[in-house]
Amino acid sequence: MERIRFITYGGKRILEVDLSRCSAGEVEKVMRELPDHVTAEPRESVRMLVDFTGASFEPEGLRTMKETAIFNKLHIKRTAWIGTESLPQLHLDDMSRYARREFPVFRERAEALEWLVRE
């Protein structure tokens, strides 16, 4: 299963990052691969949906997520997160502070996708 891929929704390209049911090690691996996909795109062009449903986290993977958020920042137009129930709120807050940007969390995939394609 490919965990990072582009999909089309509402006529827009969205980079989907599927971390659902990933082990902590898999989360870290996917996060390390993500910049290759994001930085290949023009600045401020990437709309990204990240699904954390049922994912597991360890300190090293959480640190990698923060570093990736900084590295990708210039290329991101919008980011939406879903399935964050297993991600500690403290980490969500820390990510926003560290990356100096917001990571909106949505309950439903459809709601997140609609927000991502809105101009």
**Can you tell me whether residue 46 is helix, strand or coil?**
strand
The proportion of the chain whose per-residue pLDDT surpasses 90, expressed as a percent, equals 77
CA distance 9 to 28: 27
Please give the structure tokens belonging to residue 36: 């290759």
CA distance 23 to 28: 9
pLDDT for the residue 99: 87
- Find the DSSP H helices in 2-119: 24-38, 59-72, 89-99, 109-117
Q: For residue 35, give the nearest of 68, 57, 59 by alpha carbon.
A: 68
Domain ranges of the chain: 4-117
Helix axes 59-72 and 24-38, enclosed angle (nearest 10): 10
Instruction: Render pLDDT for 31-52 as a digit per residue (tens, 0 to 9).
Output: 999 999 999 999 999 999 999 9
CATH topology of domain 4-117: Transcription Regulator spoIIAA (3.30.750)
Q: Taking the model in full, what pTM does it have?
A: 0.93
Residues forming beta bridges with residue 73, ordered by sequence position: none
pLDDT for the residue 1: 58
User: CA neighbours within 13 Å on the CB side: how many for 57?
Assistant: 20
Please give the structure tokens belonging to residue 35: 């910049």
Residue 9 has pLDDT above 90, yes or no: yes
Please give the structure tokens belonging to residue 67: 């570093």
